Chains A and B, each alone.
Chain A
Amino acid sequence: MEKVEKKLREEAKKLLAEKKVDVIVGYEAGTLPLTATPVFITTPEEADKLVWNSFCQHNLAKYVHDLISAHKDSQKRLKPEDRKRKVVGVVTKGCTSRSLVIHLQERQYERMDTAILGVPCTGYVDRKKLAAKLGGEEILEGSLDGANLKIKTASGEKTIALKEVLADNCLTCRINNPVISDSMMGEPAPPMDFASEYAGVDEFEKLSPEERWAYFEKEMAKCIRCAACRQACPSCYCRTCFAEQSMPQWVGISEDPSDTQAFQFMRMYHMVGRCVDCGSCVSVCPMGVDLRKFLKKLDKDCFVLFSQRAGEKIDFPAPLQDQRMDDKEEFIYSPGGGH
């Protein structure tokens, strides 16, 4: 991992010195122990801030989209011949690369607007899992020692296996190496345990509709509609979200549970073939809503029905942009049999 970090800094310095990129979006050490936070680097000197470790959880594709669309807006008032391109370099793990592919499939920007610094990923630490392991105690000091975390709290030192606190989506991640990159830092990471990817979904499907509804209702009752999930999601980039639209008003603003259910249902349904399971929405949710249980189903359906996974292939249209004459249609109702 240190080797990757070193190579990443060198590459970032090179790109910035040669003026091949205007800004590099990456991770720097957070202000609290065992955290990393996004950083925007514009000069070669700053490149040493960059880190790559098991605490880099953000999906940076969100920032790439934000930066490029803000830049494009600022260029609108210029004559076409005076407009400049802004190239954003981005530290990219598997899920980030898939989000970038989705943006490219959806023509949000062009491939030449980005410089992709690929990093091998072995998963990030889930802060909520870690807090639960420590019984809510504050982390005073911490370091990563091989496959273990060494943590100092008020009640003494603890050693926790990294594997025990990795996020659920990382444990069963299928694509943990970038699907596209301009330069790859180090060797690709070993695969994660993706065979059990849909275990949670399969189990949930076996429940009766009443049990499933009870679970959905219970989870959605927690939601306070702060829309943090939407803000963190790299696939949620609409200028006006349907949730704020007033003509027509898709989602009511009352405190009726059905309004929250409809909001969450619709936001999640938007993720058909677009959710890369990066865990951003889950990690930012202040109420701990189990969004992944539902989002993973869309991912499964997308693969079962259309044999595609979100952001897996760049030269291929996204599942809902495309259609085939022979798509499966078992769900079509036929009263007399036949079609």
Chain B
Amino acid sequence: MSQHDKPAGKKSEGWEPKIIAIVCNWCTYAGADLAGISRIQYPPNVRIIRVPCTGRINPFYVVKALQAGADGVLISGCHPGECHYITGNLSARRKFATLKSFLNYIGLEDGRTTFTWVSASEGERFAQVIKGVTERVRALGPATKLIKKLRDVSVAAAK
């Protein structure tokens, strides 16, 4: 994410949404693997970061991703009750319920952040989620809020 291909906040030709997916190792990552093995097609706009559990995800990751210019952030883990660490996803659910609500409250578009559950056997669902999220973010256009623009300024100054 450190490289901005295009200046953030400008709707440019051929813009493709950049989506950061932070997924848990035991369910969603395995689900993504299954989608790959089953050769299910889904949009290539998503960059996956694997973490041990959704409970491990610091809500700051989401803010950081948005600040670094991600157009959308997806977080996905095991369905409630199926967590490898028993209650990691339940703790995460409380954190993300309030995080999403607060992000929306300050004026971020609802479609920028997405939280869902995908189990290891749901390759099809994983592809659907990625399709759905990419469509939602595409409809919103490039992200304009919370983005750190300083890099673009210095790049412009260097030219």
Interface residues of A (CB under 8 A from B): 204-205, 209-216, 242, 250, 252, 254, 256, 258-259, 261-262, 265-266, 268-269, 272, 294, 297-298, 301-302, 305-306, 319-320, 322-325, 327-329, 331-336, 339
The proximity string for B residues 127-138 relative to A, scoring 1 for CB distances below 8 Å and 0 otherwise, is 011011100000
Residues in B126-159 with C-beta less than 8 Å from chain A? 128-129, 131-133, 145-150
Check B106–A262 contact: CB distance below 8 A.
no
| A298 touching B98 in the complex, CB below 8 Å, given contacts A213-B106, A327-B90, A333-B115 | yes
Question: Within 8 Å CB of B80, what residues of A?
Answer: 325, 329
* Nearest Cβ on chain B to A275's Cβ, whole angstroms: 12
Q: Which of B10-18, B23-31, B32-40, B56-64 contacts A (4 or more CB under 8 A)?
A: B56-64
A327 touches B107 (CB 8 A): no
Beta-carbon contact of B60 and A266 below 8 Å: yes
Across-interface contacts of A332 in B (CB, < 8 A): 93, 115-117
Q: Is A265 touching B107 in the complex (CB atoms < 8 A)? A: no
In the complex, what's the smallest C-beta–C-beta distance from A7 to chain B, in angstroms?
A: 40
Q: Looking across the interface, which residue of chain B has its beta carbon closest to that of A205?
A: B105
Cβ contact of A209, chosen from B97, B109, B114, cutoff 8 A: B109
What is the CA–CA distance of A328 and B80 in the complex, to the nearest angstrom? 12
Name the contact of A213 in the complex, choosing from B90, B96, B102, B145 (C-beta under 8 A).
B145
Most buried by A among B106, B125, B131: B106
Interface size on B, residues (CB 8 A): 44
What is the bound-complex CA distance between A266 and B62, given in angstroms?
11
Chain A minimum-CB-distance residue to B58: A250
Give the residues in chain B near A265, CB-CB below 8 Å. Answer: 63, 102, 106, 146
Q: How far is the CB of B155 from chain A (nearest CB, A)?
A: 14
Smallest distance from the beta carbon of A10 to chain B beta carbons, Å?
Answer: 44
Q: Please, which residues of chain B bring their CB within 8 A of the CB of A297?
A: 101-102, 105
Interface status of B45 (Cβ within 8 A of chain A): no
Describe B's contact surface by its main secondary structure.
Answer: helix
- Tell me, yes or no, whether B41 is within 8 Å of chain A by CB: no
**Closest approach, in angstroms, between the C-beta of B31 and any C-beta of chain A?**
13
Contact B99 A294 (CB under 8 A): no
Q: B51 near A: Cβ within 8 Å?
A: no
**Is B81 close to A, CB under 8 A?**
yes
- What is the chain B residue whose CB lies nearest that of A261? B146
Q: Which residue of chain B lies nearest to A305 when distances are taken between CB atoms in the complex?
A: B97
CA distance A328 to B129 in the complex (A): 20
CB pair B116 A209 closer than 8 Å: no
Whether the pair B104, A209 counts as a contact (CB closer than 8 A) is: yes
A250: which B residues are within 8 A, CB to CB?
60, 64
| Residue of B87, B107, B129, B145 with most partner-chain A CB within 10 A | B107
- A257 vs chain B, min Cβ distance (A): 8
Q: Beyond A214-B107, A265-B146, A327-B94: 18 further Cβ-contacts under 8 Å?
A: A205-B105, A213-B145, A254-B150, A256-B148, A256-B149, A259-B148, A266-B60, A269-B99, A297-B105, A298-B102, A301-B102, A305-B97, A319-B94, A323-B91, A327-B97, A332-B116, A334-B116, A336-B125
